[in-house]
Structure 1
């Protein structure tokens, strides 16, 4: 088997250290690229100039770029998932006591296409039936894909912080705060049980990141080899360590202990992917998509 050396931009998690060893494994060598700051920097470089062969990025950014004609392949590998229901935060002295109070309020998020905020909006509107049509959205950063249309009446507060907007009263609620600031509270009393109930009812485990490749590899063996390498590293880690005390896997298994925490492959992710595309269409980020699964590489994991 020929070895394919691939310039790769990834985020490090508790389970994927082996991916950073820059050694040949099963036909691929990941030559790890460095990037400044957060993964968002690498995402932008991949979207705008295809700076890497392989790049971890948000599925929302991929789908927007792909519909606009970007030559990218989305692999059915999702290295980071989270439930963000505990990240819907208001000030403790706010009149907003519950998610049912959100209509007509000012809600701060980092960007419009950020998966964290998108999945929360999907949960609130599609699962709980909360009407978000009258919300004023407040943004603190630019979306990775240039030119994405934001909701009418949106307020731009670039460079400010979500907790700062809550403190100043410029936002009634913020979505995307992993730690609740002093003097604030979450709007969902038991986010862990709420997340578990959502998945039991819908089969959806939200994905925040996937892996994409330059489309120059379409029709070759390379996408399948990359998928299988990610899968092998994950399964080897789980076999050796079980559930770690903290990290992505631990957070997911606390909510759904009976489920595979990070399922890869198109079949296992079909329901989540179709829900993601549906949510993006409903929220004005995508034009209608006839076959959502056609935008996800057709690969299934080989299990021993």
Structure 2
């Protein structure tokens, strides 16, 4: 089986075995478009929102209940350190994000709306890239920055008031998290929701549905026991709190036309061709 998975601790044992023919794609998100558009691999890491959009479009893909990457998102929306901007005052402000469909952005917009009462439809969202799905079109409220724009440069220039960042969150003393006490806020949010904010899970081509339990078990056997909060949970029930939230957020934010059922995400029915 041709597989694209980044080099995580729980994947290294699989890369030493002979089950998969690994294809190296760096950064791994560059594999997502090929997987949703052409089913280029048998097994592939994928951003959960990309999978939700693919599922809504009937792509022949199936989710495994295996988290490869997650993180608490509260400190991933930043503004200039010298700007007195308050998280409650985002209405009318310009907030940049790599692509409106980026999973980190979906999580943060949901958190801003749920936890801080931000009217998301009144924020001016600015993106710099397309989503992974060819069929996806940004909602009308999303503005595309000029080609070649860089979010942090736009923020420092005053063209944006805040920016949502993913793995490229800069270590820059000129920036600060927009959400006060972001790490403590994230822990309090987890204590209330019991949800680990999923970034990437594992998907397979739908025709491999009969092998999903065996494939899931491979990840179970390769994973080391978690200490503290398990940030890479495996299993439907372990992931249900997060999936209930992200399916709601994706629908509310206009990324999928209807809210998807968590249980249906794992059903071969609806994974069309």
TM-score, normalised with respect to structure 2: 0.91
Matched, 1:117 2:117: no
Q: Unpaired runs of 5+ in structure 1? A: 1-5, 24-28, 244-256, 299-304
Corresponding residue for 1:33? Answer: 23
Q: How does 1:90-239 map to 2 (within 5 A)?
A: 90-96=79-85, 98-157=86-145, 158-176=147-165, 178-218=169-209, 220=210, 222-234=211-223, 237-238=224-225
Give the stretch that moved more between structures: 59-68 or 155-164: 155-164
Corresponding residue for 1:262? Answer: 232
Deviations 1:169-221 (A, max 9, x none): 11110011522424221112322111110011112111000100001112x2x
Larger-gyration structure (1/2) = 1
Corresponding residue for 2:258? Answer: 288
Give the stretch that moved more between structures: 117-126 or 187-196: 187-196
Corresponding residue for 1:10? Answer: 5
Corresponding residue for 2:16? Answer: 21
- 1:295 to partner: Cα distance: 1.1
Cα contact 2:94–2:162 (8 A) shared by 1: yes
Cα contact 2:247–2:261 (8 A) shared by 1: no
- 1:113 to partner: Cα distance: 1.2
Cα contact 1:118–1:279 (8 A) shared by 2: yes
Partners of 2:103 and 2:230 in 1: how far apart?
A: 21
Give aligned pairs, total. Answer: 265
Partners of 1:14 and 1:160 in 2: how far apart?
A: 34
- 1:262 to partner: Cα distance: 1.9
* SS of 1:133 mapped into structure 2: helix
- 1:92 to partner: Cα distance: 2.0
Corresponding residue for 2:271? Answer: none
Partners of 2:143 and 2:16 in 1: how far apart?
A: 44
Give the stretch that moved more between structures: 123-132 or 59-68: 123-132
Corresponding residue for 1:59? Answer: 48
Of structures 1 and 2, the one with the larger relative CO (CA 8 A, separation 6+) is 2
* SS of 2:13 mapped into structure 1: helix
Displaced runs of 4 or more, over 3 A = none
Cα contact 1:76–1:297 (8 A) shared by 2: no
Partners of 2:83 and 2:183 in 1: how far apart?
A: 23
Give the stretch that moved more between structures: 168-177 or 145-154: 145-154
Corresponding residue for 1:301? Answer: none
* Residues 290 and 156 (structure 1), Cα distance of their counterparts in 2 relative to 1, 3 Å cut: closer
- 1:284 to partner: Cα distance: 0.7
Partners of 2:12 and 2:67 in 1: how far apart?
A: 16
TM-score, normalised with respect to structure 1: 0.82
